[in-house]
Copies of this chain bind each other. A is one copy, B any other.
Amino acid sequence: MTYCLAISVNDGIVFASDSRSNAGVDYIRTCSKMHRFFWPGDRIIVLLSAGNLATTQAVVNAVQRDLDDPKAKFNLLKAKHLFDIADYVGDLSQKEQHHHGPAIEKNGGSAGASFILGGQIKGHEHDIYLIYPEGNYISASIETPYLQIGENKYGKPMLDRVISMDSSLNNAARCALVSLDSTMRSNISVGPPFELTLYNGDSLEEPRQMSLKLASPYYKTLQKSWNEGLKRAFSRLPKFDWE
């Protein structure tokens, strides 16, 4: 399993991902699910991936292959709109799934994969898209300015309570970490290091990047502060009338 999310606020975009990959509970590894493609001044593109690891790696490899080929019909540099790239990633994903899917399904597995794509192309607004395993995609909305892939339930309540378009980029990043932390506590197939990318909207500058391990001083402090804050909030809940 996996948990990745992107939050698109007025100030920019936060991308966050866990790094646990597993084939059954008896084969666990760590691998990045955040793929960054930066051309400062022109375009900033981030791709988060969930689902079948072979499919997602094949899609990222195909993206790279097209980038390296000046004769490619389409690639990240030739795209005019971000949603053209969403289309392209959806097509690459479907192609890979058609290639290996039948053999995988015969063994009871699934070749399915989902992606979150986000960033900015010069002349356009920053945006985020969720690309479904079927290859189609949606964008976030003003009312719900975040998208999630993988194990999305445990970490959703805090996003719903805290995040709005007016949230600062730093607050969105903190909320993404809290969301990842809640998920990790309830689902052992989601785990650190947690990767973060903070893109300042309209800057077209290389985003700020972090990788947080359990032992990272910032993550430890955040985890402790959040746990204590929740317990304090809980201890202040109103008493029942019989107490």
Chain B proximity of A129: nearest CB distance (Å): 22
Contact A162 B234 (CB under 8 A): yes
In whole angstroms, what is the CA distance A240 to B171 when docked? 10
- Give the size range of A's interface with the partner: 35 or more
CB-defined contacts of A185 to chain B, threshold 8 Å: 157, 160-161
CB-defined contacts of A227 to chain B, threshold 8 Å: 161
Closest B residue to A151 using CB positions: B153
Q: Is A239 an interface residue when CB atoms closer than 8 A count as contact?
A: yes
Per DSSP, chain A at the interface is helix
CB-defined contacts of A225 to chain B, threshold 8 Å: 233, 236-238
Closest B residue to A196 using CB positions: B240
In whole angstroms, what is the CA distance A236 to B233 when docked? 12
Contact B234 A186 (CB under 8 A): no
In whole angstroms, what is the CA distance A64 to B222 when docked? 52
Of the candidate stretches A97-105, A135-143, A172-180, the one touching chain B is A172-180
Encode contact with B along A208-243: 1 for CB under 8 Å, 0 otherwise: 100000000010011001111111111011111111
Q: Is A170 an interface residue when CB atoms closer than 8 A count as contact?
A: yes
- Identical copies of this chain, number: 2
Contact B242 A208 (CB under 8 A): yes
Contact A233 B226 (CB under 8 A): yes
Q: Is A52 an interface residue when CB atoms closer than 8 A count as contact?
A: no
CB-defined contacts of A232 to chain B, threshold 8 Å: 229, 233
Q: Is A154 an interface residue when CB atoms closer than 8 A count as contact?
A: yes
Q: Is A122 an interface residue when CB atoms closer than 8 A count as contact?
A: no
Q: Is A54 an interface residue when CB atoms closer than 8 A count as contact?
A: no
Closest B residue to A174 using CB positions: B237
Q: Is A79 an interface residue when CB atoms closer than 8 A count as contact?
A: no
Interface centre among A154, A170, A227, A233 (most CB of B within 10 A): A233
13 more CB-based (< 8 A) A-B contacts, given A178-B234, A225-B236, A229-B230: A157-B182, A157-B185, A157-B186, A160-B186, A161-B227, A170-B240, A173-B240, A174-B240, A178-B237, A218-B240, A222-B238, A230-B230, A233-B233
